[in-house]
Amino acid sequence: MTPIVTVLICLGLSLGPRTHVQTGTIPKPTLWAEPDSVITQGSPVTLSCQGSLEAQEYRLYREKKSASWITRIRPELVKNGQFHIPSITWEHTGRYGCQYYSRARWSELSDPLVLVMTGAYPKPTLSAQPSPVVTSGGRVTLQCESQVAFGGFILCKEGEDEHPQCLNSQPHARGSSRAIFSVGPVSPNRRWSHRCYGYDLNSPYVWSSPSDLLELLVPGVSKKPSLSVQPGPVVAPGESLTLQCVSDVGYDRFVLYKEGERDLRQLPGRQPQAGLSQANFTLGPVSRSYGGQYRCYGAYNLSSEWSAPSDPLDILITGQIHGTPFISVQPGPTVASGENVTLLCQSWRQFHTFLLTKAGAADAPLRLRSIHEYPKYQAEFPMSPVTSAHAGTYRCYGSLNSDPYLLSHPSEPLELVVSGPSMGSSPPPTGPISTPAGPEDQPLTPTGSDPQSGLGRHLGVVIGILVAVVLLLLLLLLLFLILRHRRQGKHWTSSPAQLPTPRKKTSMLP
């Protein structure tokens, strides 16, 4: 714990004694508290004053407020320079000093010792802004806040003899208080663990319970671990999943961090086999807040330095967006090995991106930006050429740029059957999800995929249909002309039979 004299400086209290005594040249005594000078309410504590070997008598003084050494502890309570408190209360708190009598004179007062009682108020909350993961050499803001209207806060760094930081609280929401501390520059070769306390300005020695320990993580350069997820990165609300952080360098502890969160999850490492260490972080039942990007870090117990971060892993939560896409396959759901196949994700509702998943695959799903083919939105996922490894059950999801880790409900499953001899055992092309942060960011495209290729094929189909329609119209027109010609021919061949037979002319010659 931080030496209490620095707490005294932090609280702005005087260090000089105000009791005037006859002093000489004998050295001043040392005053300390066991087990500590910051004690939880109701716990025992012993104050010990140590002078020279010739000390004949000890006196112990307590200053309740920043006034003067007005209170002397009764001599019968101070035995051999020790004052035992079986159960500390707020009445025992304050600033203590001691002196001893030797060689017919009294020594100077010892350096002051501040006895603080904690647990008088609920604990505040300590968080790092914007993140507890800090780059080496950088600074970070720590915010201590409470629903109690404290007059001030104290920030203490665990395990090191450093001056605590004290700040008066800032105006906040009604009935609450907070203080903002700046920490740094940080380095990876030290531990950066902090707690904070709140206190009333009228009772500076009576503190709240300590906040939960906040450890800052400063990544180093040692070998990064690997991060995977079981059963897969796409999960429905209410389900659970396990993130496995694994290393082959034998780290003793691991930390899991979700981008944008204030807290770190830490677990001790275990060794499933020689040369490997890992930690399993179980999440669930999950909700939409679990969606995001995760990384893990490893460290040794005897070292304050953390490893380099693992590659990022995206966790996606389904059923968070209205609308359900539908999936189809060209040329059909049953194909021969070696053929070219295209899986088509479509939706009547606008999605900025479509994702394609395969049942049982732990890899990140394929992701493509949608193309608006009025009146639908769609994306084409080509697989060329297919092998038996591509066979399986596929589903489509839609997502929006505003939160790429929240997905729509899944499409109906599509079963792809690959017949014939296997031409390889490579699985379908997969890759990490690209998180679009702006219009210029493009998601990863599978091998051989061109976002414009779908448009070209679509135009080809439309032109083919138009040509077929034109040919059909021409054929109908030709048929109409032929029928009309036949009808007219019948009319002219039947007309002579209907004409009256001409009468023979009578000769008028005489």
CATH code at 174?
2.60.40.10
Could you tell me the pLDDT band of residue 86, with boundaries at 50, 70 and 90?
very high
DSSP class of 151: S
CB of 247 within 8 A of CB of 278?
A: yes
User: Chain-centre distance of CA 404, in angstroms?
Assistant: 14
CB of 200 within 8 A of CB of 151?
A: yes
Number of domains in the chain: 4
Q: Residue 453 falls within a domain, yes or no?
A: no
Cβ-in-10-Å burial (0-12, 13-18, 19+) of 325 comes to buried
Measure the CA–CA gap between 65 and 54, rounded to whole angstroms. Answer: 32
Could you tell me the pLDDT band of residue 92, with boundaries at 50, 70 and 90?
very high
CB of 293 within 8 A of CB of 314?
A: yes
Q: Tokens 């740094």 — which residue?
A: 184
Q: Residue 376 falls within a domain, yes or no?
A: yes
- For residue 424, the model assigns a pLDDT of 44
Q: Are both 225 and 297 inside the same structural domain? A: yes
Q: Are both 312 and 327 inside the same structural domain? A: no
| Domain of 363, in residue numbers | 322-418
Phi and psi for 91 in degrees, rounded to 5? Answer: -70, -20
Q: Are both 399 and 335 inside the same structural domain? A: yes
CB of 114 within 8 A of CB of 166?
A: no
Q: Does 488 score more than 80 pLDDT?
A: no
Domain boundary among 254, 284, 316: 316
Q: Residue 510 falls within a domain, yes or no?
A: no
Section 133-147 average pLDDT: 92
Q: Are both 332 and 398 inside the same structural domain? A: yes
- pLDDT digits over 295-326, tens only? 999 999 887 889 999 999 999 999 999 999 99
Phi and psi for 318 in degrees, rounded to 5? Answer: -90, 165
Q: Are both 148 and 66 inside the same structural domain? A: no
CB of 243 within 8 A of CB of 249?
A: no
- For residue 489, the model assigns a pLDDT of 57
CB of 16 within 8 A of CB of 69?
A: no
Does pTM top 0.85 for this prediction?
Answer: no
Q: Are both 43 and 110 inside the same structural domain? A: yes
Q: Residue 503 falls within a domain, yes or no?
A: no
CB of 157 within 8 A of CB of 207?
A: no
- For residue 477, the model assigns a pLDDT of 84
226-230 and 241-247 strand pairing: antiparallel
Q: Are both 283 and 336 inside the same structural domain? A: no
Measure the CA–CA gap between 217 and 192, rounded to whole angstroms. Answer: 7
Q: Does 425 score more than 50 pLDDT?
A: no
Q: Which of 393, 391, 389 is nearest to 427 (CA)?
A: 389
Domain boundary among 387, 418, 449: 418
Beta strands in 424-477 (DSSP E): none
Section 347-357 average pLDDT: 95
Measure the CA–CA gap between 118 and 155, rounded to whole angstroms. Answer: 14
Q: Are both 326 and 413 inside the same structural domain? A: yes
Q: CA of 355: how far to CAs of 228, 237, 351, in Å?
A: 19, 18, 10
- pLDDT digits over 430-455, tens only? 443 333 333 333 333 333 334 333 43
Domain boundary among 117, 151, 186: 117
Q: Residue 137 falls within a domain, yes or no?
A: yes
Q: Residue 454 falls within a domain, yes or no?
A: no
Could you tell me the pLDDT band of residue 35, with boundaries at 50, 70 and 90?
very high
Could you tell me the pLDDT band of residue 73, with boundaries at 50, 70 and 90?
confident
| Percent of the chain whose pLDDT exceeds 70 | 79
Q: Residue 427 falls within a domain, yes or no?
A: no
Query: Can you count the helices (H) and strands (E) in the chain?
Result: 2, 36
- pLDDT digits over 385-406, tens only? 999 999 999 999 999 999 999 9
The CA angle 162-167-168, to the nearest 5 degrees, is 155
Q: Residue 38 falls within a domain, yes or no?
A: yes
Measure the CA–CA gap between 111 and 17, rounded to whole angstroms. Answer: 9
Q: Are both 145 and 225 inside the same structural domain? A: no
Among the ranges given (160-169, 191-200, 233-242, 451-460), the one the predictor scored with the smallest mean pLDDT: 451-460
CB of 225 within 8 A of CB of 139?
A: no
Q: Are both 353 and 405 inside the same structural domain? A: yes
Section 163-177 average pLDDT: 72
